[in-house]
Chains A and B, each alone.
Chain A
Amino acid sequence: MNGLVELVREAPKRSVAGLAVLLLLLLLVPLVAGRYALSVLILILYFAYVGQAWNIMMGFAGQLSLGHALYVGLGAYAAAALYQHFGVIPWVGMIAAVAVCVAAATAIGWLAFRFGISGTYFALLTIAFAEFTRIGFDHFGWVGASGGFFLKVAQQDVIDLANLRGHPVMFYYLALALATFAFVLSAWLLRSRAGFYFRAIRDGEDAARAAGVDTFRYKLFAIQISAALTSLAGVFFAFYYNNLFPEQIFNMGRSIEIILAPIIGGIGTLFGPVLGAAILTLLSEGLTEALAALGWEVPGIKQIFYGVALAVAIMFMPHGVWPALARRFGFTRIRDDS
């Protein structure tokens, strides 16, 4: 709690005030928002949360993971299987989800970092683990294999917080809580000792090691935190959507979805993942609406526009939208980097 107070005191006043207003608005939104608007907001918060989790590993510590769907999937299956088979409530299931994902992350990180794998090779290794697990779950009968795993759908008008069953408003506040938590944790990490070590490793691993940073330990720590946070996104996913298919949840496309928001928003920054998630989700939903209005509902057309938007964004804003915005409008930025 002390750290939190200090965090607020150290941050620029304008940022803190802006964030407080934003949080208040987001808290009040369900009073006016309809079902559709709420589902879009949940999506934005979800991607802001997982983006923040991925950003800790890539944006802070410089380790490119292209297989974060692995942790979403493992977390989702762990909590869902415990709930469905043994009636364990998801709040306890979360602990199992975190444990499983931290174990997986430790194994991957240990293998990779012990043998000095980095850069492209590390990224491809993370893809390999996610794909390996996807095919494994396709044949894992206890959780439905490729046929899918389904949670009992409850009445939507009651709110059963203990079992995470019920109305979308509950999921909205849950997503908001997760996104806020990840944001605050990231802000705190950035000014913690580990955060400085992370950035030292990112900006020059040999120099960091020479300066006495235990690079192996801190790289492992980064992947562990990132995986633990991502596993909670998996639990959320499982109880929000109520169905899990290995082909979908472990899909490489899912891993890419996760990393788009921070890259578009601004890698290594605090606001990047949030801003990126909002931009991409609104762009995607807007495209769906626009194409429907034009009557161009051919499957694939939306993704083409999406691809073009990505290419344009990465070409003209190489550091992401947030740094460009911050420079343009002179926002005071919470101390991050670049």
Chain B
Amino acid sequence: MALNSGLQIDESALIRSAQQGDHDAFEQLVRLYDQSVLRLAMNLLRSPEDAQDVYQEAFLRVFRNLDNFRFDCSFHTWLYRIVTNLCLDQMRKRKVRKEEPSVLAAADGPLDRMDSVAEERVDGDPQRHLFSGQLRTRIKLVLEGLTPRERMVFELRHYQGLRLKRIGEILGTTEEAAKNCLFRATQKMRVALGDFV
């Protein structure tokens, strides 16, 4: 069940209606999850254009394959399988081609392509501002250094707040494997950022 406009909407009923060709139901279904899908893609790919592509491709696949959805898992898990696969593909391609890194080398230090999208203001103490900016840049670089799977598990656990059991279901692996992945990711980040905190 999900909440929408203050009224409880039966997700299963929406899915069944959408499966029968009701496009209003499909629209409502999209709106239940599209914000978190876009946030996930944006955080992983750090490019509004790529995030937009993933958003569109994911929901088009849902639209085209909704008839095949048999309620064997939750709709959320099914949708996230599609989204995470698309994001992983994109991240792996980038790793191979080494193109379009989100953090670019610049004469006066690394620059993040997303800084113009989501610049978080730290008012007050300029030194604190500088430190905070350096820490953010460093975190972004470390995140880029993780393997796509580590990055994905970290994203789903830390930013999307999903339990490891659910993450395992989404990624087609066990809870234990997801746990190991998260463990490796956090270890790498602690080592790389230890001198900042």
Chains A and B form a bound pair? no
Which of B's residues lie within 8 Å of A, judged by CB? none
